[in-house]
Structure 1
């Protein structure tokens, strides 16, 4: 069967915080799919993961802000009048604008015009990563050109989008995949179409996160010269719950000796650093900033406990199933996290990790304290965590499922 060129629309590329997307792109390329990447933003991260250098797809950058490239946007606008779906697009856009009067809405229309004019050769399918703004550009481009589209929905994009917007997109896309049961169940309530949504855990490239057969430390928090090493990887944003985690660290019994390392960037880093000082734990906390994947892997292998206190943000944003929990688990590193979204789909409390309610520093501190003082328990949970990942979260399964969905569409159309 002849495979069609897929235009994959992304909010930004490459991004250090979206390794799961990069793994999927590389997996699709290895499976024989021809991709062109359409990025709505240029990269801002100073580093790249090795996986980004392995992806061969061409990248096209749309104008992030329309006023920055007015001639390009004007040419796209004028060219749109020769496209088959221009009347349908304006009808849809005005319907959306009536419910969402914003500059962002006009920006997505302008980006769709540019994409319609600068269409990559042989582009025969559109696929959006995230069902909020990337899907808006993708859907508008689909209406304009008549090229069908599909979508991968994840977390923030689902929970911060209004239901009317999700309903429209789920009715327009050929299908949508999502990576948590909670996201799947929510979207299923918003569409009458039986096969509009599919559950597909994006999983982990286990070849890149191979089995760690090195020894784990026997540190138990009693030796001030050899403290237990706590690790967290994540952006300093509200939904990651780092305020809760820092408060939990401040509640740990004074006789326990520990050190905490944080990997990741984010706008809230200065506020978190100030909070650590206020709580009196700053001298035990190391802020490492954003690191490449191979450096993160090394940190997983030398840490004793992984901690991520996910929560639901004030705007409804939340994690789906944070990939860092899957990564840490694959390295036999026991995780302490919260019962938000898809996390309990990976971690079963007391079986292969510790799961506590969100925004509860005392409960989080109790779980950390129990593991800090019990290296044997850490080893037991870590071994069980790795088994679960390798049995149920291999990204090859999700690549195969996604490939089958594409090929079934093309088989039907041929």
Structure 2
């Protein structure tokens, strides 16, 4: 019987999580059989091309338990007959005392449904994000008696209480995470730090091939504006309000145009800020777009800016894949030294880093690179070399494949090592 990995996701497919889709496709092409379990239905109208290449079936759990009571009841009655049900119930009740929320109840109900509907050949449970998807995976694993693991990222690490992170880390077989700072933090909370592994997402360089970018002559003078690009959700941690304020303070003599790609809850508020600052003719917010559109826009741009910050609730970026994507296409980057960004962008070497929320410093950094195309090109070339030597997704995927194999989940040998561009 073919062994299947049940992959628990917060939502699928999602435009903002192309790194997850990239990993899923690579696992399939390495020979693993996957079954995707999503806590939410998709909300994005578009899809990345990679989503159509992933063959794994998707099971959507009830987003709200009252909307699908029959499935929840079947999950409960089925789970009551399993030896692990009361172990899972104890875990849930212990968590509920410390987190008495409807969200916590929902996760347990979703775990009941997941346990009932798991394919019989399921050999492992693997969750993306150590907060809510990991809770569902943990309760379900206790019910059905399967080992499990997790991939932790950014918001899920920094907005989860330490008690919950610690207990999950000590319960799972292993955890991977994508930045050194996240790796050190999770290791400090685990009884066995060796269970926590640093595995960068990297970039599928076949989807982001080298682009022979002509030397830029745009320097902020004349009629051809320097094209500034930002890709990322309009949420607090991205620092887009700081960026818009800095754009408004650029010298009037500089000719530039800013494009933002991404959805997000703050989009309308940021659009109002643009209008109030009189930037409507120089700034555009396009909303979420598929990957091929992002790639083409990168190639048409001169400078990539992402002024990430730590949000009020502790949320922050890990190592944003959009920075890696931008550098793979020969774009100089301006960002901040938050979380894992410093593992990619070295200030003054392959980009510029400014303190979070420092409008003046961000303005000056952008002005410097807008007016100096030669410096932009030098930094861009160094950035692309770093991405292509240290952040190749195929080499980072080897570590994840090895973890599954060492856990006893074996890929189908006749599909092993299929190249990503097959």
What band does the TM-score fall into relative to the shorter chain? over 0.9
1:92 is displaced (CA, Å) by 1.0
2:300 pairs with one of 292, 302, 311 = 302
**Superposition misfits of 4+ residues, deviation over 6 angstroms:** none
Output the CA distance in 2 between the equivalents of 1:69 and 1:389.
Answer: 46
Look up the match of 1:230: 228
CA contact (8 A) 2:123 2:409 kept: no
**How many residues align structurally?**
410
Output the CA distance in 1 between the equivalents of 2:190 and 2:20.
Answer: 25
Output the CA distance in 2 between the equivalents of 1:123 and 1:216.
Answer: 52
User: Which piece of structure 1 moves more, 356-365 or 278-287?
Assistant: 278-287
CA contact (8 A) 1:3 1:407 kept: no
Look up the match of 2:418: none
Look up the match of 1:248: 246
1:121 is displaced (CA, Å) by 3.0
Look up the match of 1:361: 359
Output the CA distance in 2 between the equivalents of 1:8 and 1:221.
Answer: 48
Look up the match of 1:159: 158
1:278 is displaced (CA, Å) by 1.7
Structure 1 unaligned spans of 5+: none
**1:260-299, aligned counterparts within 5 Å?**
260-299=258-297
User: Secondary structure of the residue that 1:343 maps to in structure 2?
Assistant: helix
| Superposed CA RMSD | 1.2
Output the CA distance in 2 between the equivalents of 1:340 and 1:185.
Answer: 15
**2:391 pairs with 1:393:** yes
Output the CA distance in 2 between the equivalents of 1:397 and 1:258.
Answer: 38
Structure 2 unaligned spans of 5+: 411-422
Output the CA distance in 1 between the equivalents of 2:103 and 2:394.
Answer: 36
User: Secondary structure of the residue that 1:7 maps to in structure 2?
Assistant: strand
User: Secondary structure of the residue that 2:247 maps to in structure 1?
Assistant: helix
TM-score by length of structure 1 reads 0.97
1:408 pairs with one of 401, 406, 409 = 406
Output the CA distance in 2 between the equivalents of 1:216 and 1:400.
Answer: 36
Look up the match of 1:211: 210
TM-score by length of structure 2 reads 0.96
Look up the match of 1:331: 329
Output the CA distance in 2 between the equivalents of 1:321 and 1:86.
Answer: 38
Highest RCO, 1 vs 2 (Cα 8 Å, sep ≥ 6): 2
**1:192-203, aligned counterparts within 5 Å?**
192-203=191-202
1:397 is displaced (CA, Å) by 1.6
User: Which piece of structure 1 moves more, 116-125 or 302-311?
Assistant: 116-125
